[in-house]
Structure 1
Amino acid sequence: MADTSEVTILLLGDAEVGKSTFLSRISKGSSHPFHSEKDVITLLKDSSQPFVFDIKFYNRPYRFVFYDTASPETWTLLHPHVVVLCYDISSRLSLINIQRHWAKEVIRVYPEREDLPVLLLGLKRDLRSETDPNGIIYPQEAYRIAQELRCDKYMECSTTTGELVHEVFEDICKTAAMTTRAKGGKSEGGCIAM
Structure 2
Amino acid sequence: MTTQILHGKPIPEVDILFLGSPGVGKATFLSRLHHIRNGKLDLSAVPQGRVFAPSAPLAFDVTLFGRPYSFRIHNSTSTLFVDPFPPCPAFAIIAFAIPHRESLHNAQYYWRKQLSLHYHDLEHTMPVMLLGLKRDERTEERLEGDGEGEGGRFKCVMPQEGLQAAQEMRCDQYAECSALTGELMFEVLEDITRTAARTTTEAGGLSQNSSCEVM
TM-score for the superposition, normalised by structure 1: 0.89
Partner Cα separation in structure 1 for residue 142 and residue 15 of structure 2:
34
Q: Give the 5 Å matches for 1:47-86.
A: 47=55, 49-71=56-78, 72-86=81-95
Report the counterpart of residue 46 of structure 1 in structure 2.
54
Range 178-187 or range 119-128, more displaced: 178-187
Shift of 1:33: 5.0
Trace 1:119-138 onto structure 2 (pairs within 5 A): 119-129=129-139, 131=141, 133=143, 135-138=155-158
Matches within 5 A, 1:118-157: 118-129=128-139, 131=141, 133=143, 135-157=155-177
More helix as a share of residues: 1
- The answer to whether the 8 Å contact 1:90/1:131 transfers is no
- Alignment match, 1:169: 189
SS at match of 1:73: coil
Quick one: structure 1 residues 78 and 17, their matched pair in 2 at CA, closer, same or farther if it must change by over 3 Å? farther
The residue identity in structure 1 corresponding to 2:196 is A
SS at match of 1:62: strand
Structure 1 distance, partners of 2:179, 2:85, is 27
Deviation at 1:131, TM superposition (A): 4.3
1:23 to partner: Cα distance: 0.8
Partner residue of 1:112?
121
Q: Aligned to 2:120, what secondary structure does the other structure show?
A: coil
Higher relative contact order (CA closer than 8 Å, sequence separation 6+): 1
1:193 is matched with: 214
Deviations 1:51-97 (A, max 9, x none): 11110000011001111114322145442110000000010000011
Name the structure 1 match of 2:28. 21
Q: Do residues 8 (structure 1) and 15 (structure 2) align?
A: yes
Partners of 1:78 and 1:131 in 2: CA distance: 42
Q: Distance in 2 between matches of 1:132 and 1:56?
A: 44
Structure 2 residues not aligned, in runs of 5+: 1-6, 144-153
CA shift at 1:115, angstroms?
0.4
Q: State how many pairs are aligned.
A: 190
CA shift in 2, pair 1:18/1:9, >3 Å: same
Q: Is the 8 A contact 2:17 2:85 kept in 1?
A: no
Contact 2:173-2:209 at 8 Å conserved across structures: no
Residues 1:10 and 1:90: Cα distance change in structure 2 (over 3 Å): same
Q: How many percent of aligned residue pairs carry the same amino acid?
A: 39
Report the TM-score, using the length of structure 2 for normalisation. Answer: 0.81
Alpha-carbon shift at residue 27 of structure 1 (Å): 1.9
- Alpha-carbon separation, structure 2, partners of 1:126 and 1:181: 35
**More moved, 20-29 vs 106-115:** 20-29
Structure with higher Rg: it is 2
Structural RMSD (CA): 2.1
Does the CA contact (< 8 Å) of 1:33 and 1:162 recur in 2? no
